[in-house]
Each structure stands twice: as C-alpha cells, then as structure tokens.
A = this chain, B = another copy of it.
C-alpha cells in the first residue's frame, strides 16, 4: 500500500516538482501527512480563515499566490512577502499571526498539514529537514534582498529588481525571457512600497528604454536582461555619478 503515493499527491504539482518538500518524502510519510491533510482554495482577496488560524496549522502552497500583508493605522497597506507553489507556511506561534495576515493574491490552493506529523517527519527524515531549512533560508535571503530594494532604490530600480526576482522564482518557463508577474499592479505597488500610479509610469519608462515589453498586465518580456540588471543594481540612467568604485556585481 505504501508503495504508491496517496491519491491526492498523485495529482498535486508539489509532488512532482523536485524542488518541493513533498517530492522528497517517502510514500509512507506522505500517507501519514495526507491522512489528516485537507486541500482548500482561496480566491483573490480572501484571507486565511480565522478558525483555521486558531488551529495553528502548517500550510503548503500547492498552487497560486498568497501574500503576507500588514496594515497601518491609517490604512496604508504593505505586502511584506508573497509565497507560491512549494512554499511551506508554519503558522504556529509566529508573530506573523498577530501582526500580519495572509491574503490570497490570486486563486491559491493550500494543503493543510497536521503539525504533529510534519514535526515528526522533519525530526526523523534528515533529507526533508535539510530541504525545509534551506527553504527557510531562502525566505530569509529573499526578505533581505527585498529590504535592499525597498531601502535605497528608486522606483524604476525597484521594478527592474522585481522583474528579475520573478524571472528567478518562476524559471520553469519554456521561454526564459517571458516573465509572469504574479500579482496585480495594485499589489505590486504595495509590495514595492510605492503607488500604483508610479508602478504604471515605471513600466512605461522601462518599455520606453526598450528593456522590457509589456503585453498583458501579468506578462513581461525581457528584451535586454543585462540592461535590466544594471538598472536593478542602481546604474540605471546611464549618467550615474560613479562616485565610489564598486567591484561587486551580483544578481
């Protein structure tokens, strides 16, 4: 019986993507996990329901996009991070629960895992543990990179950086120069700490410089990746005052 994966998993993208946790679990472990797992969907704008949060669950994102949003007293909204297929959200005891809320950016599919089973697997299966930890580290690194974008970059540079981030995160594309933008303009603005109007203008500028081409609002074609990288790293307008000599390149 445990020679085959559970039926649920056999139709799940996370099981077939070997960057994901589930692809590296034993069939037995999967059966244990899935025994108590429940798959559910959220539509754009939906938060993870309160009653589910109460149970302090662990959620695996099996498809779609979900964001971690914070709201200030006067209504300013920020998207601190977003998660896509393969990301595992541990909603126990985190401050995230108190301060931010998880809200779907697009139709998202989540697989709810029983914390006890998850913990046991992480404890007992070193391969799973390493994979999950490296995922946590990737989240830290992403967040740090994002902080750099937000802290000192100009609007256009932030957008360039974001497009590159997307192109790295969604690299299962057939044509690598076509990049999926996983959220709407409004959300993008909140993620990048700017106004929707500014986002719109920056897309226009990058198009004008023939660095990218925008067909639909959620699809970008990169026309000149080196230029995009330069812009993202702050050498943007071709007339920068190279006041300091920097050797690092990055990205």
- A145 in the interface (beta carbon within 8 A): yes
Partner of A100, one of B96, B144, B146, B150: B144
CA distance A232 to B98 in the complex (A): 16
Interface string of A74-96 (1 = CB under 8 A from B): 11111111000000001000111
When distances are taken between beta carbons in the complex, the residues of chain B under 8 Å from A193 are: 150-152
Chain A: number of interface residues, binned into ranges: 35 or more
Q: Is A153 an interface residue (CB 8 A)?
A: yes
* Cα-based distance from A192 to B152 in the complex (angstroms): 9
- Chain B residue numbers with a CB within 8 Å of A248 are 71, 99, 101
A143 to B76, CA, bound (A): 19
Closest chain B residue, CB of each to CB of A147: B80
User: When the two chains form the complex, which single residue of B74, B80, B126, B240 contacts A148, counting CB atoms closer than 8 Å?
Assistant: B80
**20 A-B pairs, CB-CB below 8 angstroms?**
A71-B248, A72-B152, A72-B234, A72-B235, A73-B235, A73-B240, A73-B242, A74-B241, A75-B244, A75-B246, A77-B152, A78-B151, A81-B144, A96-B141, A100-B144, A100-B148, A146-B147, A147-B147, A147-B150, A151-B192
